[in-house]
């Protein structure tokens, strides 16, 4: 089995692609939005999560703010399928498809290009913190860089 990608891999991707981002190595793990916000002294809305879904076995990365619930219905409507055909990827599928472990996944720099969707609310912020490639690392990055590098489609992914 190929080992998962890590902060070194993400840092190499950032450098190779001249991305305006910084990886913060933290003294504590950040498994939840709340612990991540606490670790960097940010509001929970500034924590960006990258969640991998499978739409009829095709990977789709949804990127949204904080503790907001990503609506599977929005993804299903985009792909013109029923909501039941939009499934959360398993931990094994996440590593296999993205290269990163759940809880550490950045919004870009994956093992393979992923079709990405970016919630429109992310772009309302000037600075966010996203997965940094390890459970004790976060990446500080302007949302416009996430959009530029991921090539994500901007849409409403959360209710409200």
What does the pLDDT profile of the chain (160 residues) look like in tens digits? Answer: 688 999 999 999 999 999 999 999 999 999 889 999 999 999 999 999 999 999 999 999 999 998 889 999 999 999 999 999 999 999 999 999 999 999 899 999 999 999 999 999 999 999 999 999 999 999 999 999 999 999 999 999 998 6
Q: Which pLDDT value is given to residue 160? A: 63
**In Å, how far are 1, 151, 159 from 155, measured between CA atoms?**
36, 13, 11
Nearest to 117 by CA among 76, 60, 72: 60
Q: Is CATH 3.90.960.10 the classification given to domain 7-155?
A: yes
Q: Which pLDDT value is given to residue 99? A: 97
Q: Which pLDDT value is given to residue 1? A: 67
Nearest to 157 by CA among 109, 116, 126: 116
Q: Which pLDDT value is given to residue 2? A: 80
Residues near 96 by beta carbon (within 8 Å), at least 6 away in sequence: none
């Amino acid at each position: 089995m190929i080992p998962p990608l890590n902060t070194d891999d993400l840092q190499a991707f950032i450098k190779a692609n001249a991305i305006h981002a910084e990886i913060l190595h933290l003294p504590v793990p950040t498994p939840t939005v709340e612990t991540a916000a606490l670790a960097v002294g940010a509001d929970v809305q500034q924590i960006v999560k990258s969640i991998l879904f499978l739409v009829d076995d095709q990977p789709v990365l949804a990127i949204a703010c904080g503790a907001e619930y990503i609506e599977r219905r929005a993804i299903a409507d985009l792909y013109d399928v029923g909501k039941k055909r939009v499934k959360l990827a398993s931990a094994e599928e996440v590593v296999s498809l993205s290269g990163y472990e759940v809880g550490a996944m950045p919004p870009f720099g994956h093992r393979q290009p992923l079709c990405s969707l970016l919630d429109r609310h992310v772009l309302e912020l000037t600075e966010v913190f996203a997965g940094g490639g390890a459970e004790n690392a976060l990446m500080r990055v302007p949302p416009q860089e996430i959009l530029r590098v991921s090539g994500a489609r901007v849409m409403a992914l959360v209710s409200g």
